[in-house]
């Protein structure tokens, strides 16, 4: 039986093994022990479900923290209204008594008697019954935890309440202002990527050259000076501030926009967008340019690039056929996060400076006027959209490079 250890035995073994394979399950190669947990077969799907489950908890934490801060902060809508009724200015740092915080009294801000003082400094000399009725209308006759629970229940139904001073539903206000913020955010993000990626690649290819040094100086200036200072400079130079009067100062369209033809409407729209978008692009392209340059430099110095060059491939094919995909991973996957920054943080002061009636200006005015439904409604929508776009950003990483597996890292 010694011959079974030679070449004949090898052939017999191969034939036998080819006829004795483990049968496939539903036409797949998934092992039997993997079928016990279906999520192990689709790890990114399980990761997606976990991230979606964390979004409500994250939203609850954000709203809770901000609600507590609002209770501690001085001032409130009732005091704002009382100051307008009495024609007096109320300091933002005025101390307001009461157990529930700034705008809330215990059972609301009522006087304990006809001769006693109210918890609102602006309510002195007013009928306590009138002040109590104001608190009831604003809902401050209820304890803070009752108002918070009612607000969370409404938000679960996407009922964001009604503005105190605009007499409109908060959701309708957000939908009306959203196109302005989307216009600023989308165009600014697209221009930032259109400028930063070619500039970063050129700086990486010409690393250490005069072009790299001069462009780095421009990048440093763009990074050091905030966007709103560029906006003020552009207004002074190009919007009739002192020198030229080439662009409009306010709004997104002209007053006679509806009377224009469609080509004229498009030109008028971009004419109004030029200065605010330019200010946001100048203030936002620096970091992405340096990220692109460093990503390309890191890939160019790797061994596979040296091997590709040794095979005789052209520099253009090496750069765009091999280096580009690996180097652009961080840049492309960061697009949703950049869009979030442009939509909700970068455009706030730009909207205020150029009087653009968007979400940033709406939130700013709500904070100044203590319009709590608008404040929390915009915060809720900003946070929700931001969390969803961050999830999209993580999924984009995996789509660009499947080797990145967030689920495996969590597990």
Residue-level pLDDT at 241: 66
Please tell me which residue, 92 or 203, carries the higher pLDDT value: 203
Give the separation between CA 319 and CA 299, rounded to whole angstroms: 9
Backbone torsions φ then ψ of 312, nearest 5 degrees: 95, 10
Please tell me which residue, 92 or 38, carries the higher pLDDT value: 38
Question: Which of 132, 167, 139, 136 is CA-nearest to residue 154?
Answer: 139
Give the separation between CA 280 and CA 349, rounded to whole angstroms: 10
Residue 186, SS3?
helix
Tokens of 256: 């006679």
Cβ-in-10-Å burial (0-12, 13-18, 19+) of 351 comes to buried
Task: Read off the pLDDT of residues 171-190 as tens digits, 9 standing for 90 and up.
Answer: 999 888 888 888 888 888 88
Question: Which of 52, 49, 46 is CA-nearest to residue 407?
Answer: 46
Helices (H), 225-261: 227-238
Per-residue confidence band for 323, with pLDDT thresholds at 50, 70 and 90: confident
For the chain, give the mean pLDDT: 75
At residue 371's C-alpha, the angle toward residues 367 and 376, to 5°, is: 80
Backbone torsions φ then ψ of 245, nearest 5 degrees: -130, 60
Give the separation between CA 361 and CA 250, rounded to whole angstroms: 13
Residue-level pLDDT at 242: 74
Please tell me which residue, 271 or 321, carries the higher pLDDT value: 271
Q: Which residues are registered as beta bridge partners of 169?
A: 162
Task: Read off the pLDDT of residues 18-48 as tens digits, 9 standing for 90 and up.
Answer: 444 444 433 444 444 444 444 454 566 777 8
Q: How much of the chain, in percent, has pLDDT values that exceed 70?
A: 74
Q: Which residues are registered as beta bridge partners of 245?
A: 239
Q: Is the pLDDT of residue 211 over 70?
A: yes
Q: Is the pLDDT of residue 113 over 70?
A: no
**What distance separates the 2 farthest-apart alpha carbons in the chain?**
117
Per-residue confidence band for 61, with pLDDT thresholds at 50, 70 and 90: very high
Helices (H), 20-143: 38-41, 43-72, 77-86, 128-138
Give the separation between CA 285 and CA 282, rounded to whole angstroms: 6
Task: Read off the pLDDT of residues 270-304 as tens digits, 9 standing for 90 and up.
Answer: 898 889 999 888 877 888 888 888 888 888 888 88
Instruction: Please spell the DSSP secondary structure of 298-345, one letter per residue.
Output: HHHTSHHHHHHHHTT--HHHHIIIIIHHHHHHHHHHTHHHHHHHIIII
Kindly report the pTM of this predicted structure.
Answer: 0.67
**Residue 98 exposure: Cα atoms within 13 Å on the Cβ side:** 30
Tokens of 139: 């809902």
């Amino acid at each position: 039986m010694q011959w079974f250890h030679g070449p004949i035995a090898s052939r017999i073994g191969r034939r036998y093994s080819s006829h004795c394979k483990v049968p496939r399950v539903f036409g797949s190669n998934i092992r039997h022990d993997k079928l016990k947990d279906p999520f192990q077969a689709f790890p990114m799907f399980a990761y997606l479900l976990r991230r979606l489950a964390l979004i409500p908890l994250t939203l609850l934490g954000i709203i809770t923290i901000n609600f507590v801060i609002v209770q501690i902060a001085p001032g409130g809508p009732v005091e704002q209204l009382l100051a307008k009724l009495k024609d007096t200015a109320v300091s933002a740092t005025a101390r307001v008594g009461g157990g529930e915080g700034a705008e809330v009294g215990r059972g609301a801000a009522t006087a304990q008697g006809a001769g006693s003082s109210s918890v609102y400094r602006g309510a002195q000399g007013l009928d306590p019954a009138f002040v109590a009725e104001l608190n009831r209308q604003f809902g401050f006759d209820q304890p803070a935890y009752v108002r918070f629970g009612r607000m969370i229940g409404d938000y679960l139904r996407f009922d964001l309440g009604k503005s105190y001073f605009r007499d409109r539903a908060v959701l309708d206000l957000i939908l009306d202002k959203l196109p302005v913020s989307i216009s600023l955010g989308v165009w600014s993000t697209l221009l930032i990527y259109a400028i930063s990626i070619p500039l970063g690649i050129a700086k990486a290819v010409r690393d250490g050259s005069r072009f790299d040094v001069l462009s780095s100086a421009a990048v440093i200036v763009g990074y050091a000076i905030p966007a709103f200072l560029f906006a003020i400079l552009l207004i002074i130079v190009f919007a009739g501030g002192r020198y030229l009067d080439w662009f409009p100062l306010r709004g997104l369209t002209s007053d006679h926009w509806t009377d224009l033809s469609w080509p004229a409407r498009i030109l008028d729209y971009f004419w109004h967008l030029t200065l605010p978008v330019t200010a946001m692009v100048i203030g936002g392209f620096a970091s992405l340019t340096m990220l692109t340059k460093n990503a390309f430099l890191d890939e160019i110095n790797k061994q596979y690039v040296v091997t590709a060059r040794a095979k005789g491939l052209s520099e253009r094919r090496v750069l765009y056929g091999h280096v580009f995909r690996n180097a652009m991973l961080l840049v492309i996957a960061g697009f949703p996060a950049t869009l979030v920054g442009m939509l909700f943080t970068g455009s706030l002061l730009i909207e205020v400076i150029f009087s653009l009636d968007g979400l940033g200006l709406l939130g700013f005015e709500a904070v100044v006027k203590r319009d709590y439904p608008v404040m929390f409604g915009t915060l809720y929508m900003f946070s929700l959209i931001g969390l969803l776009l961050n999830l999209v950003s993580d999924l984009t990483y995996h789509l660009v490079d499947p080797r990145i597996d967030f689920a495996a890292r969590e597990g």
